[in-house]
Structure 1
Amino acid sequence: MASARNSKARGSNGLFWDLLTFDRLVTGPVIHLIYWAGLGVVALFAFSVVGAAVGLALKEPGLQSLLLAFPVLIAGLLVAAAMVLLWRAFCEFYVAIFRISEDLRALRQASDADHAVAAATRPPAQKPVG
């Protein structure tokens, strides 16, 4: 909490300093951009599957080409759906790892503050008489 107040007090220069010293992680917004870019790639794959199925159906007139195109379309769209789920899980894994890192950093700061308070209130050690 104190570091948040200090970074606000430093202004825009503080944001730059936080980014240089890794006090503020930019991974969250970057992962969101990567997630949407990956979904775009999966959408391109899905469109190519639909195009391949339509092309297969139009290649030769008749029932055989339609019977071949339908399973290609269904299988391709199922693979695209599985890719969306896997991509989401992959991105959530990275977000979870970085949130754990932030939580550990906050716990470390709280522990250091508790140790500083305990050290300040502890009476000085007396030398043994001997």
Structure 2
Amino acid sequence: MAPKSRKRGSGGGILWDLLTFDRLISGPLIHLIYWSGLGVIVLGAFGAIGAAVGVVLSDDDIVGKLLALPVSIAGVLVCVALVLLWRSFCEFYVAIFRISEDLRAMRQAGETDLSRAAPTAPPPQRFNV
């Protein structure tokens, strides 16, 4: 859960939250980057399959036609590996930003605990002899 740093009625809205870094845009931005990267990887998979089909249709030699199947399977496997790698990178960044939000909430909770704590006695004075 995202920490609330100010009360709802204090005005300003989303623009003020963005300008003062009370609300981070990195979470939704990472989701957009994830989906765009996933789209690029899917285009790469379609390109690998299309290249293999193109080789099968245009090559008259049997060796070219026999090589098209392993090349297309390898291309799809590479794209699956890229999807998993891309997902792990994006989840890593989301986790880092959530840790940052949690640390911020813990710091605010600690500050409120310190402000509610009873005042402590002054430190003992040392006398030089």
TM range (shorter): 0.7 to 0.9
Instruction: Find the aligned partners of 1:21 and 1:2 in 2 and give their Cα distance.
Output: 13
Q: Is the 8 A contact 1:59 1:65 kept in 2?
A: no
Instruction: Find the aligned partners of 2:84 and 2:123 in 1 and give their Cα distance.
Output: 64
Give the partner amino acid of 2:106: L
> What's the counterpart of residue 85 of structure 1?
84
Q: Structure 1 pair 66/126, CA: closer, same or farther in 2 (3 Å)? A: closer
Q: Please, which runs of 5 or more residues in structure 2 have no aligned partner?
A: none
CA deviation after TM superposition for structure 1 residue 10, in Å = 3.1
Instruction: Find the aligned partners of 2:4 and 2:86 in 1 and give their Cα distance.
Output: 37
Q: Is the 8 A contact 1:58 1:65 kept in 2?
A: no
> What's the counterpart of residue 5 of structure 2?
3
Give the partner amino acid of 1:94: Y
Instruction: Find the aligned partners of 1:2 and 1:19 in 2 and give their Cα distance.
Output: 13
Percent of aligned positions that are identical: 57
Give the partner amino acid of 1:3: S
CA deviation after TM superposition for structure 1 residue 27, in Å = 1.1
Give the partner amino acid of 1:93: F
Q: Report matched runs for 1:1-130 at 5 Å.
A: 3=5, 6=7, 8-11=8-11, 13-118=12-117, 121-122=118-119, 125=122
More contact order relative to length (CA 8 Å, sep ≥ 6): 2
- Structure with a larger share of its residues in helix: 1
